[in-house]
Amino acid sequence: MSNYVKSTQNELKSQSRTAAQTAQDAVHSRAWLYPIKGIVYFASHKSCWGPFAKALPPALAMSVGVLGFMFGLTYLPQAAFLSIINFGPIGFISAVPLVLSESYIIFQTLSKAYILDGSTTEVFDRVLVERQLQSLVANGREVKGEGTTKKFGKVLMSPLAKFSPNAVAYYLLTLPLNFIPVVGTVIFFLLNGAKTGPALHARYFQLKKLNSTEKAEAIKKRRGAYTGMGTAALLLQVVPVLNIFFSFTNAAGAALFAADLEKGTNSLEQDVRRQ
Protein backbone atom coordinates (compact mmCIF):
# COMPACT_ATOMS: atom_id res chain seq x y z
CA MET A 1 0.00 0.00 0.00
CA SER A 2 2.97 2.33 0.61
CA ASN A 3 3.69 2.42 -3.13
CA TYR A 4 0.07 3.37 -3.81
CA VAL A 5 0.22 6.12 -1.20
CA LYS A 6 3.46 7.51 -2.60
CA SER A 7 2.21 7.49 -6.20
CA THR A 8 -1.10 9.10 -5.27
CA GLN A 9 0.67 11.78 -3.23
CA ASN A 10 2.78 12.70 -6.26
CA GLU A 11 -0.27 12.68 -8.50
CA LEU A 12 -2.20 14.82 -6.03
CA LYS A 13 0.55 17.45 -6.07
CA SER A 14 0.57 17.45 -9.85
CA GLN A 15 -3.21 17.74 -10.18
CA SER A 16 -3.43 20.46 -7.55
CA ARG A 17 -1.19 22.69 -9.68
CA THR A 18 -3.61 22.50 -12.60
CA ALA A 19 -6.90 22.36 -10.64
CA ALA A 20 -8.03 25.88 -11.53
CA GLN A 21 -7.49 25.40 -15.27
CA THR A 22 -9.13 21.99 -15.23
CA ALA A 23 -12.14 23.37 -13.36
CA GLN A 24 -12.56 26.06 -16.01
CA ASP A 25 -12.30 23.47 -18.77
CA ALA A 26 -14.78 21.22 -16.96
CA VAL A 27 -17.41 23.96 -16.89
CA HIS A 28 -16.70 24.94 -20.49
CA SER A 29 -17.07 21.35 -21.74
CA ARG A 30 -20.65 21.02 -20.50
CA ALA A 31 -19.95 17.30 -19.95
CA TRP A 32 -21.25 17.81 -16.41
CA LEU A 33 -24.69 17.64 -18.02
CA TYR A 34 -24.35 13.93 -18.83
CA PRO A 35 -25.17 12.69 -15.30
CA ILE A 36 -28.33 14.81 -15.50
CA LYS A 37 -29.12 13.44 -18.95
CA GLY A 38 -28.56 9.98 -17.49
CA ILE A 39 -31.30 10.54 -14.91
CA VAL A 40 -33.79 11.55 -17.62
CA TYR A 41 -32.77 8.68 -19.91
CA PHE A 42 -32.90 6.05 -17.17
CA ALA A 43 -36.32 7.20 -15.97
CA SER A 44 -37.78 7.06 -19.47
CA HIS A 45 -36.35 3.72 -20.65
CA LYS A 46 -37.77 0.63 -18.98
CA SER A 47 -35.03 -1.53 -20.46
CA CYS A 48 -32.68 -0.10 -17.82
CA TRP A 49 -34.92 -0.88 -14.88
CA GLY A 50 -34.37 -4.65 -14.71
CA PRO A 51 -30.72 -4.54 -13.58
CA PHE A 52 -31.59 -1.79 -11.08
CA ALA A 53 -34.51 -3.73 -9.56
CA LYS A 54 -32.35 -6.82 -9.16
CA ALA A 55 -29.53 -5.00 -7.40
CA LEU A 56 -31.65 -2.63 -5.29
CA PRO A 57 -32.52 -4.77 -2.20
CA PRO A 58 -28.97 -5.85 -1.26
CA ALA A 59 -27.48 -2.48 -2.23
CA LEU A 60 -30.08 -0.60 -0.19
CA ALA A 61 -29.41 -2.73 2.87
CA MET A 62 -25.68 -2.14 2.48
CA SER A 63 -26.09 1.63 2.00
CA VAL A 64 -28.29 2.08 5.08
CA GLY A 65 -25.98 -0.08 7.15
CA VAL A 66 -22.83 1.80 6.16
CA LEU A 67 -24.49 5.19 6.61
CA GLY A 68 -25.91 4.33 10.03
CA PHE A 69 -22.60 2.91 11.20
CA MET A 70 -20.56 5.89 10.04
CA PHE A 71 -22.86 8.59 11.43
CA GLY A 72 -23.35 6.72 14.69
CA LEU A 73 -19.65 6.11 15.24
CA THR A 74 -17.75 8.93 13.55
CA TYR A 75 -19.95 12.03 13.15
CA LEU A 76 -19.75 13.51 16.66
CA PRO A 77 -15.98 13.02 17.11
CA GLN A 78 -15.26 14.58 13.73
CA ALA A 79 -17.76 17.39 14.28
CA ALA A 80 -16.12 18.21 17.61
CA PHE A 81 -12.67 18.21 16.03
CA LEU A 82 -13.79 20.43 13.16
CA SER A 83 -15.45 22.81 15.61
CA ILE A 84 -12.10 23.29 17.28
CA ILE A 85 -10.07 23.90 14.14
CA ASN A 86 -12.83 25.95 12.48
CA PHE A 87 -13.45 27.99 15.63
CA GLY A 88 -17.17 27.52 15.87
CA PRO A 89 -20.35 25.56 15.18
CA ILE A 90 -19.57 25.46 11.46
CA GLY A 91 -17.62 22.33 12.31
CA PHE A 92 -20.88 20.44 12.85
CA ILE A 93 -21.91 21.41 9.31
CA SER A 94 -18.52 20.65 7.76
CA ALA A 95 -18.58 17.19 9.32
CA VAL A 96 -21.62 16.17 7.27
CA PRO A 97 -19.95 16.10 3.81
CA LEU A 98 -16.89 14.53 5.43
CA VAL A 99 -18.88 11.61 6.87
CA LEU A 100 -20.87 11.29 3.66
CA SER A 101 -17.61 11.12 1.70
CA GLU A 102 -16.24 8.46 4.04
CA SER A 103 -19.48 6.49 3.79
CA TYR A 104 -19.38 6.80 0.02
CA ILE A 105 -15.94 5.25 -0.39
CA ILE A 106 -16.86 2.33 1.89
CA PHE A 107 -20.16 1.71 0.13
CA GLN A 108 -18.72 2.22 -3.34
CA THR A 109 -15.86 -0.20 -2.73
CA LEU A 110 -18.06 -2.94 -1.27
CA SER A 111 -21.04 -2.54 -3.59
CA LYS A 112 -18.90 -2.39 -6.73
CA ALA A 113 -17.09 -5.56 -5.76
CA TYR A 114 -20.14 -7.58 -4.71
CA ILE A 115 -23.38 -6.06 -6.03
CA LEU A 116 -23.45 -3.23 -8.57
CA ASP A 117 -20.64 -3.71 -11.07
CA GLY A 118 -22.31 -6.23 -13.37
CA SER A 119 -25.68 -4.45 -13.21
CA THR A 120 -24.37 -0.96 -14.00
CA THR A 121 -22.25 -2.41 -16.83
CA GLU A 122 -25.40 -3.96 -18.29
CA VAL A 123 -27.15 -0.57 -18.19
CA PHE A 124 -24.15 1.02 -19.92
CA ASP A 125 -24.28 -1.63 -22.66
CA ARG A 126 -28.06 -1.33 -23.08
CA VAL A 127 -27.83 2.42 -23.63
CA LEU A 128 -25.18 1.92 -26.30
CA VAL A 129 -27.31 -0.70 -28.05
CA GLU A 130 -30.32 1.61 -27.97
CA ARG A 131 -28.14 4.31 -29.54
CA GLN A 132 -27.43 1.95 -32.47
CA LEU A 133 -23.97 0.93 -31.29
CA GLN A 134 -24.60 -2.80 -31.13
CA SER A 135 -21.38 -3.52 -33.02
CA LEU A 136 -19.38 -1.81 -30.28
CA VAL A 137 -21.16 -3.69 -27.48
CA ALA A 138 -20.65 -6.94 -29.40
CA ASN A 139 -16.95 -6.60 -28.59
CA GLY A 140 -17.80 -7.30 -24.97
CA ARG A 141 -20.96 -9.42 -24.90
CA GLU A 142 -23.36 -11.31 -27.11
CA VAL A 143 -26.35 -9.30 -28.34
CA LYS A 144 -29.13 -11.32 -29.96
CA GLY A 145 -32.32 -10.32 -31.76
CA GLU A 146 -33.42 -7.23 -33.62
CA GLY A 147 -35.18 -3.95 -32.81
CA THR A 148 -36.86 -3.89 -29.40
CA THR A 149 -36.40 -7.66 -28.99
CA LYS A 150 -32.64 -7.52 -28.46
CA LYS A 151 -31.45 -9.78 -25.65
CA PHE A 152 -28.07 -9.90 -23.98
CA GLY A 153 -26.13 -13.13 -24.01
CA LYS A 154 -22.95 -14.15 -22.23
CA VAL A 155 -20.18 -11.67 -21.47
CA LEU A 156 -17.24 -12.15 -23.84
CA MET A 157 -14.67 -9.97 -22.07
CA SER A 158 -13.21 -10.56 -18.64
CA PRO A 159 -14.86 -8.46 -15.90
CA LEU A 160 -13.56 -4.99 -15.18
CA ALA A 161 -11.33 -4.52 -12.13
CA LYS A 162 -13.65 -4.42 -9.13
CA PHE A 163 -11.22 -2.85 -6.66
CA SER A 164 -8.55 -0.21 -7.17
CA PRO A 165 -6.27 0.35 -4.16
CA ASN A 166 -4.77 3.35 -5.94
CA ALA A 167 -8.17 5.03 -6.32
CA VAL A 168 -9.09 4.35 -2.70
CA ALA A 169 -5.75 5.70 -1.45
CA TYR A 170 -6.16 8.84 -3.55
CA TYR A 171 -9.66 9.41 -2.20
CA LEU A 172 -8.51 8.96 1.40
CA LEU A 173 -5.52 11.27 0.94
CA THR A 174 -7.78 14.05 -0.33
CA LEU A 175 -10.38 13.64 2.42
CA PRO A 176 -8.59 16.09 4.79
CA LEU A 177 -9.36 18.86 2.29
CA ASN A 178 -12.85 18.81 3.79
CA PHE A 179 -11.33 20.27 6.96
CA ILE A 180 -11.11 23.56 5.03
CA PRO A 181 -14.64 25.04 5.02
CA VAL A 182 -16.33 25.32 1.60
CA VAL A 183 -13.19 25.85 -0.52
CA GLY A 184 -11.58 22.60 0.62
CA THR A 185 -14.75 20.64 -0.13
CA VAL A 186 -14.96 22.13 -3.62
CA ILE A 187 -11.35 21.21 -4.36
CA PHE A 188 -11.95 17.72 -2.94
CA PHE A 189 -14.84 17.07 -5.33
CA LEU A 190 -12.97 18.49 -8.32
CA LEU A 191 -9.87 16.37 -7.69
CA ASN A 192 -11.87 13.20 -7.19
CA GLY A 193 -14.19 14.10 -10.05
CA ALA A 194 -11.12 14.00 -12.30
CA LYS A 195 -10.76 10.35 -11.23
CA THR A 196 -14.45 9.46 -11.33
CA GLY A 197 -14.98 10.62 -14.92
CA PRO A 198 -12.53 8.19 -16.56
CA ALA A 199 -13.73 5.43 -14.20
CA LEU A 200 -17.25 5.89 -15.59
CA HIS A 201 -15.83 5.19 -19.06
CA ALA A 202 -13.87 2.08 -18.03
CA ARG A 203 -16.37 -0.08 -19.91
CA TYR A 204 -16.13 2.18 -22.97
CA PHE A 205 -12.34 1.89 -23.02
CA GLN A 206 -12.72 -1.86 -22.67
CA LEU A 207 -15.17 -2.12 -25.58
CA LYS A 208 -12.88 0.06 -27.71
CA LYS A 209 -10.01 -2.30 -26.83
CA LEU A 210 -7.71 0.58 -25.93
CA ASN A 211 -4.34 -0.25 -24.44
CA SER A 212 -3.01 1.63 -21.42
CA THR A 213 -1.21 4.23 -23.55
CA GLU A 214 -4.23 4.90 -25.75
CA LYS A 215 -6.48 5.14 -22.71
CA ALA A 216 -4.17 7.63 -20.99
CA GLU A 217 -4.07 9.76 -24.13
CA ALA A 218 -7.87 9.74 -24.45
CA ILE A 219 -8.24 10.83 -20.82
CA LYS A 220 -5.62 13.57 -21.19
CA LYS A 221 -7.26 14.92 -24.35
CA ARG A 222 -10.63 15.21 -22.61
CA ARG A 223 -9.43 16.00 -19.10
CA GLY A 224 -11.85 18.91 -18.65
CA ALA A 225 -14.83 16.93 -19.92
CA TYR A 226 -14.06 13.93 -17.73
CA THR A 227 -13.59 16.17 -14.69
CA GLY A 228 -16.93 17.85 -15.35
CA MET A 229 -18.82 14.58 -15.78
CA GLY A 230 -17.00 12.93 -12.88
CA THR A 231 -17.58 15.81 -10.45
CA ALA A 232 -21.31 15.95 -11.21
CA ALA A 233 -21.56 12.16 -10.91
CA LEU A 234 -19.65 12.14 -7.62
CA LEU A 235 -21.90 14.83 -6.13
CA LEU A 236 -24.90 12.63 -6.91
CA GLN A 237 -23.30 9.45 -5.61
CA VAL A 238 -22.57 10.83 -2.13
CA VAL A 239 -26.29 11.48 -1.58
CA PRO A 240 -27.37 8.98 1.12
CA VAL A 241 -29.45 5.98 -0.06
CA LEU A 242 -30.19 7.61 -3.44
CA ASN A 243 -26.58 6.90 -4.37
CA ILE A 244 -27.73 3.46 -5.49
CA PHE A 245 -30.12 4.98 -8.03
CA PHE A 246 -27.52 7.50 -9.12
CA SER A 247 -24.95 4.75 -9.71
CA PHE A 248 -27.25 3.47 -12.46
CA THR A 249 -28.17 6.88 -13.87
CA ASN A 250 -24.49 7.84 -13.95
CA ALA A 251 -23.79 4.69 -15.95
CA ALA A 252 -26.54 5.72 -18.38
CA GLY A 253 -25.13 9.26 -18.62
CA ALA A 254 -21.61 7.97 -19.23
CA ALA A 255 -22.95 5.72 -22.00
CA LEU A 256 -24.70 8.70 -23.61
CA PHE A 257 -21.38 10.57 -23.59
CA ALA A 258 -19.65 7.55 -25.15
CA ALA A 259 -22.37 7.32 -27.81
CA ASP A 260 -21.96 10.99 -28.66
CA LEU A 261 -18.21 10.54 -28.97
CA GLU A 262 -18.70 7.54 -31.25
CA LYS A 263 -21.15 9.40 -33.48
CA GLY A 264 -19.19 12.64 -33.47
CA THR A 265 -22.12 14.67 -32.14
CA ASN A 266 -20.15 15.94 -29.15
CA SER A 267 -17.98 19.00 -29.79
CA LEU A 268 -14.59 17.65 -28.77
CA GLU A 269 -12.87 20.95 -29.49
CA GLN A 270 -14.82 22.37 -26.57
CA ASP A 271 -14.41 19.31 -24.37
CA VAL A 272 -10.66 18.80 -24.55
CA ARG A 273 -8.26 20.42 -22.16
CA ARG A 274 -6.79 23.56 -23.69
CA GLN A 275 -3.08 23.19 -24.43
* pLDDT at residue 62, as a whole number: 94
Sites in the chain below the pLDDT cut of 70: 1-28, 86-87, 145-151, 153-154, 156, 158-164, 265-275
Nearest residue to 269 via CA among 212, 207, 221: 221
Q: pLDDT tens digits, residue range 57-73?
A: 999 999 999 999 999 99
CB count within 10 Å of CB 269 equals: 7
Convert the pLDDT of each residue in 218-227 to its tens digit: 999 998 999 9
Predicted local distance difference test score (pLDDT) of residue 228:
93
- pTM of the prediction? 0.80
* Per-residue three-class SS string for 48-65: HHHHHHHHHHHHHHHHHH
Please report the pLDDT score of residue 169 as a whole number. Answer: 82
Looking at residue 267, its pLDDT comes to: 44
Query: With contact defined as beta carbons under 8 Å apart, do 157 and 144 qualify?
Result: no
